[in-house]
Amino acid sequence: MKRPAAEALDELMGRDSPASKRSRFDDYDKSLPLRTGGSAAEGNSGHNGIDTHENGIDAAGQGAAADDDNDDYLDDEIEEKAPLRQAAPTEGYDDLYLDTIDRNVLDFDFEKLCSISLSNINVYACLVCGKYFQGRGPKSHAYFHALDESHHVFINMGTQKVYVLPEGYEVRSKSLEDIKYVSDPRYTRQEVMDLDRKPRAAFTLAGKAYTPGFVGMNNIKENDYLNVVVQALSHVAPLRNYLLLEDFSSAPELVKRTSILFRKIWNPRAFKAHVSPHELLQEISLRSNKRFTLTAQSDPVEFLSWFLNNLHLGLGGSKTKPGSSMVQRIFQGRLKVESQAITAKADAGDRLRFEEAAEVKVDFSRFLLLTLDLPAAPLFQDEQERNIIPQVPLTTILSKYNGVTAQELNAQRRRFRLVHPLPPFLMFHVKRFSSNKFVTERNPTIVTFDARGLDVAPYVEPDPARPGEPIWYDLVANVVHEAVRAKEDVADSAEERKTWKVQLRDKATDEWVVAQDLFVEKIRSELLYLSETYLQIWERRRELPPPPSAAQKGKGRG
């Protein structure tokens, strides 16, 4: 039953409205006692300007009614508070929500951007649906996602710590170690040393067998030119080991993302048998001013040159000092260039030659890549009216660097020769495409070679310390070109589309694998040269120690 008013409503007409409750509540001094007794008039005036009626206290001091009015006041005036955050899970509930994690939808290869704000700062991945969100505070996108979708487990993509939202405490469960490892694989020195020594077998979540280091790569649209280069470089042992073991947390973004991709390629505990270069591609597109993108086909050799030079600078390399980064210490060599102006004299064979009387200018230059020129393709057809596909040995086109064969360019006659010491790895670019203002032509000549035991000593300046000794190189990776018709319905007018694949050697089993985007399969070493070779990486064979002499043998027996 409502309490009757202390004064008639008519008596209050014409008076000014009282101040708001919040204003009087703020002015209230809690140190002063509140008078609950006295007449109705005193109750209206109150002490210190406080209307006792408004605070639920009448002249008779009826406490029960005061409590009811105070409850209504608190409901109206209470301020919204932040939800309770926990520093640790409730006792006995350490594994709460962990059963909602779905490992099949987790894919950490994409660029770490919030799916709502597109920010790359403080990004968390939802372990239930795989989406990225920024932050985990009470007003963050991850927090609202946890409330809206009831997805409660998130991993910080920078620190690899797992949190439960909205409570906000960290989860320290060993059952999450596989997710942390897939997100950011780490290797010990012994594990890296065993990559090329022991055969490896691994299995995905679906039970599919795969070999670490020989996995497919997503071709998002037209980025197979990048896939083959990254696959080839990931099998250059010194570069791979360096990017797998070193800490690049403070390195430039290009180096950091290259390292992460290499670590995922060799991951023995992957959830899927393929990786995506999306994160690295976004950084490359940004750094190259969209010269290399995932939507337009590019030349693998052009990309390789840009990539290695920028990787060299990102690793602290100098533009002037040779051998200042791991990239140059692996690939950089020296080349002797002899140049001479072309004169009107000719030899007995009516060919221009290097003349003893003419001045010969000698220069030394450094290289990361050696270009090999193919002989011109034939113009005639055979008796079956089909074009003849010529073949040329690799040693024949390497004769460009024997120091004898001359090339003519811009009224200059030049000849080249490699100089000791040779780099640990040699890269050959077979120049297969030529273009002019109107058309780009492809030379289909097949380059024949043996994958083991390429002797490059004939193309190197003799070493006085070891005259006549062979210098052996073995093939590591072979990038090949494959022409595909863009329109199969009109064969005559169809344009050719370039596709790329890479052949890789597994050192642990001495077998060869061909990788084209997501497809990975074995191939016989005798069939490697049947495709159109475009880029090759050769590794110098380690020199064995010399056999002991007779005197040393005698000392050993003694």
Question: Taking the CA of residue 43 as centre, how many other CA atoms within 13 Å lie in the half-sphere pointing to its CB?
Answer: 19
Residue given tokens 């001094």 in the structure block: 29
- Sequence-distant (6+) residues with CB within 8 A of 250 are none
Among the residue ranges 92-106, 188-202, 247-261, 484-498, the one predicted with the least confidence is 484-498
Q: How many domains does the chain have?
A: 3
If asked whether residues 142 and 63 sit together in one domain, one would say no
If asked whether residues 353 and 502 sit together in one domain, one would say yes
CATH number of the domain residue 374 falls in = 3.90.70.10
Query: Is 478 inside any structural domain?
Result: yes
CA distances from 198 to 2, 475, 515 (A): 88, 19, 21
For 80-97, write each residue's pLDDT tens digit.
444 566 766 666 556 788
Query: Is 226 inside any structural domain?
Result: no
Q: Give first-to-last CA distance, the chain, whole Å.
A: 119
If asked whether residues 430 and 486 sit together in one domain, one would say yes
* Residues above pLDDT 70, as percent of the chain: 74
Categorize the per-residue pLDDT at 15 as very low, low, confident or very high, splitting at 50, 70 and 90: low
For 434-464, write each residue's pLDDT tens digit.
887 778 888 989 999 999 999 999 999 987 7
If asked whether residues 176 and 30 sit together in one domain, one would say no
**Token representation of residue 507:** 């050192």
Question: Which one has a higher pLDDT value, 85 or 183?
Answer: 183
If asked whether residues 409 and 513 sit together in one domain, one would say yes
The answer to whether 416 and 400 are in contact (CB under 8 A) is: yes
Query: Is 64 inside any structural domain?
Result: yes
If asked whether residues 376 and 344 sit together in one domain, one would say yes
This prediction's pTM? 0.78
The boundaries of the domain holding residue 534 are 330-540
Q: Cα separation of 349 and 475, whole Å?
A: 38
Query: Is 547 inside any structural domain?
Result: no
